[in-house]
Amino acid sequence: MKKNENQQDLVSAQESLEIVRDQLKQIEKQLKKEKKRQRKEKKQTYEPPQNEEDFRAYRSRRGTGEIRWRKLDNTALMYPIITGETVSNVYRISVTLKEEILPQLLQEALDRILPQFPLFNSRLRQGVFWYYLEENGQEAPQVRRENTYPCRYINAEANKNYLFRVTYFRRRINLEVFHVLTDGMGAINFLKELLYQYLRLAHRELAEFCGDKLSSRTSLSTEDSFSDNYQKKPLRPYHFRKAYILHGPQFPAGKVGILQANIPLDELKKAAKARNASINEYIVAALTWAIYLEKRHSMDFSLPIVTVVPVNLRPFFQSVTTNNFFANVNAIFTPRHMMHTFEDVLDEVRTSLRKQITKEHLEEQFSTNVSTATNLLSRAIPMLFKRPALKAAYNKSTRAATTTVSNLGAVHVRKEYQPYVDKFSAVISETKGQGMRNILISYENRLVLTITSVFRRPSIQEEFFRFLFSEGVPVLLESNGVYYS
């Protein structure tokens, strides 16, 4: 009898412990919500300058101690440490119009909208422990005609300390951004407003009809969605498995080959659906297949072909931040012999992506990263000592991926401006360990896939486009001409 009573007491104690744990979890959630609410209220007190007079007054605050600053988001922490002339970490988003660009109006458009975007109106500063962003407040950087390869290193000192540049070429407006500022979604957010302002200046009837304010759908939020949504995790070491790395004769440093494929979106969807795949899965598998076909005679079958696929986290966590808010997952295909089929590749790629692109997995992944960065020991180490360790970790990680495929999704333009817009496109820079990288973006029924490569021969690209043709997907190719010079 006494034994039964002891067992009942033990069960009762365990149940009580579970109740206390649940209550503590609820309290932790409420504290996090309250902290998020307070942060939003604090942000709402900031009113960006609305005109040149306000901007001049805003600039005059420099040196008074009133200049605002903010920490880098979790993804941005590494970029200042690993960036230089050879690894720029710059990407480009472009919009091509149906008319020639007027540079003086583009400059005026930039002058007008920049004060309203606190994120882009920033300069990078180095603190004792981490880098951080500070209000810039200088005049907008000069709009220039494009005259070099895309995504070159941004020398902030020669760019009025801004971390982005705007160039143009014929009918195209280019926005190039240092990744420390924002990801592709944040850049598109800014580029669309630059486009709208430019078109209102070039076509006065648009200004009369649309007004001169930012679109109601344009976000100015700079909340740190990583910090707002992460779950504290125990520290654990990172493990990197070596991947197959592309090799071959390369262009001289600073020179890259650009191949841009214009693809009818409906035809691509049809081909992907026939293979029971999403567009993303289909493109990643097709590029992996091209690498395998081109390199299978010389590759080490013990090493997987690993494609990094950035995932926009905003839809998963109801965020509208213009900060970086994405996580990388890996599409993996491990070749075992020389007779694989495309279906073999697609099956492995599709399985690995679907397993990882879930809210639970993505939260687990970035929560581990944030927990490491916010750990007391990590925060307390001065940058002087932290830099070598972080560079070493980065160098090790570069051996864990073969290439990247970044899908920025569909861009939507306000109805009033659609008659003037032809297409959107993007370019991603090469990086250490990845001599070929890929990015895609769509507008209306046109998807534009851009392949950036440091390799002299476009043999993998040729295999990829040959496969699309065999699948009945038409492709119109454009190039920067380096493969024919």
CA distances from 95 to 120, 154, 161, 194, 284 (A): 18, 20, 25, 10, 24
Clarify whether residues 212 and 304 are in a common domain: no
CA 287 – CA 469 distance, rounded (Å): 13
Give the DSSP letter string of 76-92. Answer: GGGHHHH-SSS---EEE
Clarify whether residues 210 and 343 are in a common domain: no
For 372, phi then psi, to 5°, come to -65, -45
| Residue written as token pair 């500063």 | 125
Clarify whether residues 197 and 296 are in a common domain: no
CA angle 42, 46, 49 (to 5 degrees): 175
pLDDT along the chain (485 residues), means of 10: 52 58 61 58 44 48 61 90 93 98 98 95 91 93 96 96 98 98 97 98 90 86 88 73 95 94 98 98 98 95 96 95 95 96 98 97 88 68 84 89 98 97 97 96 98 97 98 97 82
Q: What is the pTM of this model?
A: 0.86
Clarify whether residues 123 and 270 are in a common domain: no
Please say whether the beta carbons of 246 and 455 come within 8 A.
Answer: yes
Last residue in a domain, options 163, 191, 226: 226
CA 285 – CA 291 distance, rounded (Å): 10
Last residue in a domain, options 179, 194, 226: 226
Q: Which residues contact 366 (CB under 8 A, 6 or more apart)?
A: 74, 226, 229, 230, 313, 327
Q: Please count the CA atoms within 13 angstroms of the CA of 266 that sit on its side-chain side.
A: 2
What's the pLDDT at 209? 82
Residue 145 lies in a domain: yes
Clarify whether residues 288 and 432 are in a common domain: yes
What's the pLDDT at 42? 44
Tokens of 361: 């997995």
Please say whether the beta carbons of 282 and 407 come within 8 A.
Answer: no
Residue 33 lies in a domain: no
**DSSP 8-state class, residue 454:** -
Check which CATH number belongs to the domain holding 448 and give it: 3.30.559.30
What's the pLDDT at 60? 44
CA 204 – CA 186 distance, rounded (Å): 27
Quick one: angle between helices 359-374 and 342-356, nearest 10?
A: 60
Check which CATH number belongs to the domain holding 131 and give it: 3.30.559.10
Question: For the chain, how are helix, strand and coil distributed in percent, rounded to 5?
Answer: 45, 20, 35
Tokens of 26: 């609820």
Share of the chain above pLDDT 70, in %: 84
Helical H segments across 45-132, by residue range: 52-59, 79-82, 103-113
Q: Which residues contact 461 (CB under 8 A, 6 or more apart)?
A: 259, 290, 451, 453
Q: Which residues contact 344 (CB under 8 A, 6 or more apart)?
A: 333
What's the pLDDT at 235? 64
What's the pLDDT at 244? 97
Clarify whether residues 278 and 405 are in a common domain: yes
Tokens of 5: 């009573």
Please say whether the beta carbons of 458 and 480 come within 8 A.
Answer: no
What's the pLDDT at 210? 83
Clarify whether residues 219 and 276 are in a common domain: no
Clarify whether residues 249 and 149 are in a common domain: no
What's the pLDDT at 259? 97
Clarify whether residues 133 and 249 are in a common domain: no
Clarify whether residues 169 and 199 are in a common domain: yes
The domain in which residue 380 lies consists of 242-411+428-479
Clarify whether residues 160 and 300 are in a common domain: no
- How many independent structural domains does the chain possess? 2
Residue 5 lies in a domain: no
Q: Per residue in 249-305, pLDDT tens?
A: 999 988 999 999 999 999 999 999 999 999 999 999 999 999 999 999 999 999 999
